[in-house]
A and B are shown apart, each in its own frame.
Chain A
Amino acid sequence: GNSVTQMEGPVTLSEEAFLTINCTYTATGYPSLFWYVQYPGEGLQLLLKATKADDKGSNKGFEATYRKETTSFHLEKGSVQVSDSAVYFCALSDHGAAGNKLTFGGGTRVLVKP
Chain B
Amino acid sequence: DTAVSQTPKYLVTQMGNDKSIKCEQNLGHDTMYWYKQDSKKFLKIMFSYNNKELIINETVPNRFSPKSPDKAHLNLHINSLELGDSAVYFCASSQEDRRTEAFFGQGTRLTVV
- Contacts between the two chains (Cβ within 8 Å), count: 69
Among the interface residues A49, A102, A104, which one has the most CB atoms of the partner chain B within 10 A? A102
Choose one: B44, B50, B102; the contact of A99 (CB below 8 Å): B50
Whole-angstrom distance between the Cβ of B10 and the nearest chain A Cβ? 11
Choose one: A38, A45, A51, A103; the contact of B99 (CB below 8 Å): A51
Residue interface bits A78-114, CB-to-B below 8 A is 1, else 0:
0000000001010001110011111110110100000
Could you tell me the distance between the alpha carbons of A89 and B92 in the complex, rounded to whole angstroms? 15
Interfacial residues of chain B within 54-113, with CB under 8 A of chain A in the complex: 55-56, 90, 92, 94, 96-99, 101-107
Choose one: A36, A43, A89, A93; the contact of B98 (CB below 8 Å): A93
For this complex, into which size category does the number of interface residues on chain B fall?
20 to 34
Could you tell me the distance between the alpha carbons of A98 and B4 in the complex, rounded to whole angstroms? 23
Given contacts A101-B56, A102-B45, A106-B42, contact A46 B105 (CB under 8 A): no
Q: Please tell me if the beta carbons of B105 and A100 are within 8 angstroms of each other in the complex.
A: no
Q: Please tell me if the beta carbons of A99 and B48 are within 8 angstroms of each other in the complex.
A: yes
Could you tell me the distance between the alpha carbons of A46 and B103 in the complex, rounded to whole angstroms? 8
From DSSP, what is the main secondary structure of chain B's interface residues?
strand
For this complex, into which size category does the number of interface residues on chain A fall?
20 to 34
Q: Please tell me if the beta carbons of A43 and B41 are within 8 angstroms of each other in the complex.
A: no
Given contacts A42-B106, A49-B101, A107-B43, contact A100 B90 (CB under 8 A): no
A25 at interface by CB-CB < 8 Å: no
Choose one: A36, A38, A100; the contact of B31 (CB below 8 Å): A100
Which chain B residues have a beta carbon within 8 Å of chain A's beta carbons? 4, 31, 33, 35, 40-45, 48, 50, 55-56, 90, 92, 94, 96-99, 101-107
Which chain A residues have a beta carbon within 8 Å of chain B's beta carbons? 31-32, 34, 36, 38, 42-46, 49, 51, 87, 89, 93-95, 98-104, 106-107, 109
